Amino acid sequence: MTQTVSEQKRAQQWAEAFTTEAEAGELPFSFVCDGTKSTELFRDWQCRRCPSTANADSLVETVTFTDSATGLAVRAEINVHTDFPAVEWVLHFVNTGSAETPLIEAVQALDARLPLGEHGHCLIRHSKGARCSVEDFAPVTRELRPRGNLRLQPGGGRSSSEVLPFFNVDLGQEGVMLAVGWTGEWAAEFARGEDASVRLRAGMAQTHLRLHPGEAIRTPRVLLLFWEGAPLRGHNLLRRFLLKHHRPHPGGAPLVPPLCSGNWGGTSAEVHLDNVRKIVEHDLPFECYWIDAEWFGGPGHWMEHAVLAKVRNTPKLLHKFDASACTAVCWVLTTRPRVKFCELPLRCIPNLREYGNWKPREDLYPNGFRPISDLLHQSGRQFLLWVEFERVAPNTPWAREHADWLLDVPADRTVSWADYGDHLSPAEWVAMESKRNKLGPGDKLLDLGNPDARRFLTDYLSKMIADFGLDCLRQDSNIAHLEYWRNADAPDRQGLTEIRYVEGQYALWDELLTRHPNLFLDNCASGGRRIDLESISRATPLWRTDYTASVSISSATTTRSPSTPKPKTPGWPTNSTGPNRATASSLC
């Protein structure tokens, strides 16, 4: 699939707007400073364009706009692709002055209008997020009529929780694919006026802050890819573009995620070793051995306190607990006919008491993970291990030793499983899962925006990768971050905690991949709740949804990572959940 001349021309014209429209103030982004819109400010600001830098398949432009009165500078880093009709950019706000800036707010990394065609056709095509329902990533089409407005956000601070941040603005026989790169709370808005145009805006959901002298922040990344013809051409161009330009490259090669054998961490090393030997002996096609949660902390079953807490907080809950079978079955008793609340293997419900104690359980892994990874590597296979280091439970080593690195949520903004009530409908369950910001009482969030915390975590994980012999680090994120970020913000610094946290997450990923060039990262967040343009460039979601009912949802999703039932095959490994393969890009 090749781009047309007119498609490429549209991308080039869009990139040129960063300089040609500066004098008129009509740049493709906007903000408000000291109560004045940027469209008015830029008429008096200085504009400096650096010489272009040519790469293999792109041209990098840097344009800086500076206010001589306050020292506030806005630097746009623009990447114009030559092999696709695409342009992407990131904005950086820098205080070059000696005093703090005036209030900066309503920052929109994208703010521009597209002309409508002769017939005024305007459809917004997108997908739902990883909402833990049968409709995860289901396609949605919305017609935008005159005076129509559509605003979308992921909810809770995880970038694809409610909505996947990739959109097709269909204008009839042409259109544009829009992607947002921000692993936090972005917002995208599509507004149609009566002037034969549609206005596109995208950025963080909330910015209202001042910058101290020397301080700098970045915005979400924006991608526009132009297409002509049928809407499906836009989707296919985007898919090929992402595979070429936003796919991780472990060891210098494009990532093709392996066929994995999924196994539970609360299983002894002896069983895992036996599994690996059977995989090798029977030449099963698994390329990677996956160990999920419950491998860490102290001895004893991790759900004991979680289950008791749930029962205490839900008086009408009938709880049947079979520790030997590791199964918890919960039903809700209401005045209405009995409604099944959940029926989950105990192993599927997260540990509420050991997060922050990331040492292998001595009762299960007396010699650590090296015997397992060594055996896998001898047969040319890979080893994946699950972690969730952002959430820190009380009374763990990290909670005791690094309390000043932890963010919290006030009681009136806390949402946990104990708040769900005892008769949730499926729709209510979905809404609560997106808002849930604690699993256990006292949960806190390790602040990746704190430089000391990030350095500690980077070194800790790097040592874990080396000592355990990991080929893939699986990072989970099971609580919504947004209220933690906003609770930490001062009134005149709203949005800053989120910015520093997201910048810290990218810095962590980038440093781990630099130190371990053959490593690949699995980006899990209660399924696929953190998929965006920036995250997929560094990490791939091998597990796109936590909805694991028997009904397949593959045909309804843009992500293709099919799971097949565990076959009744002689020699099939014990405690295996069956094979799972994800594609190289979360959207392909």
Q: pLDDT tens digits, residue range 337-372? A: 333 334 333 333 444 578 999 999 999 999 999 999
Give one DSSP letter per residue of 529-565, joined into a string: -S-STTGGGTEE-S--BS---SS--GGG-S----B--
The confidence band for 302, taking pLDDT boundaries of 50, 70 and 90, is low
pLDDT at 327 over 90: no
Residue 485 belongs to a domain: no
Q: CB of 540 within 8 A of CB of 520?
A: yes
Residue 543 belongs to a domain: no
Q: CB of 131 within 8 A of CB of 430?
A: yes
Percent of the chain with pLDDT over 70: 83
Residues 37 and 185 in one domain: yes
Residue 314 belongs to a domain: yes
Instruction: Give the burial class of 233: count Cβ atoms within 10 A of its Cβ; 0-12 exposed, 13-18 middle, 19 or more buried.
Output: middle
Residue at which a domain ends, from 245, 260, 290: 245
Residues 168 and 314 in one domain: no
Say how many domains are in the chain: 2
Residues 217 and 90 in one domain: yes
Read off the tokens for 551: 């009904």
Residues 239 and 307 in one domain: no
**Kind plus residue range of the DSSP H or E element containing 73:** strand 72-81
For 541-565, what is the mean pLDDT?
51
User: What are the tens digits of pLDDT across the range 174-213?
Assistant: 999 999 999 999 999 999 988 889 999 999 999 999 999 9
Alpha helices in 351-415 (DSSP H): 370-378, 397-401
Question: d(Cα 89, Cα 222) in Å, to the nearest integer?
Answer: 6
Residue 174 belongs to a domain: yes
Residue at which a domain ends, from 289, 322, 350: 350
Question: d(Cα 494, Cα 487) in Å, to the nearest integer?
Answer: 9
Residues 235 and 311 in one domain: no
Residues 92 and 164 in one domain: yes
**Domain interval for residue 230:** 5-245
What are the phi and psi torsion angles at 92 (to 5°)?
-125, 125
Residue 213 belongs to a domain: yes
pLDDT at 572 over 60: no
Residues 196 and 318 in one domain: no
Q: CB of 276 within 8 A of CB of 286?
A: no
Residues 116 and 194 in one domain: yes
Q: What is the CATH number of the domain that holds 63?
A: 2.70.98.60
Residues 209 and 310 in one domain: no
Question: d(Cα 214, Cα 208) in Å, to the nearest integer?
Answer: 18
Question: d(Cα 196, Cα 39) in Å, to the nearest integer?
Answer: 21
Question: d(Cα 351, Cα 306) in Å, to the nearest integer?
Answer: 7
Residue at which a domain ends, from 211, 245, 279: 245
The three-state secondary structure class of 237 is helix
**Kind plus residue range of the DSSP H or E element containing 291:** strand 288-291
pTM: 0.89
pLDDT at 571 over 80: no
The three-state secondary structure class of 19 is helix
Residue 178 belongs to a domain: yes
Residues 72 and 193 in one domain: yes
Residue 464 belongs to a domain: no
Question: Among 205, 250, 243, 255, which Cα is nearest to 105's?
Answer: 205
Residues 228 and 84 in one domain: yes
> For position 557, what pLDDT does the model report?
33
Residues 307 and 241 in one domain: no
Mean pLDDT score across all residues of the chain: 85
Question: d(Cα 365, Cα 361) in Å, to the nearest integer?
Answer: 6
User: What are the tens digits of pLDDT across the range 399-421?
Assistant: 999 999 999 999 999 998 777 76
Rg (CA), the chain: 25
Residue 327 belongs to a domain: yes
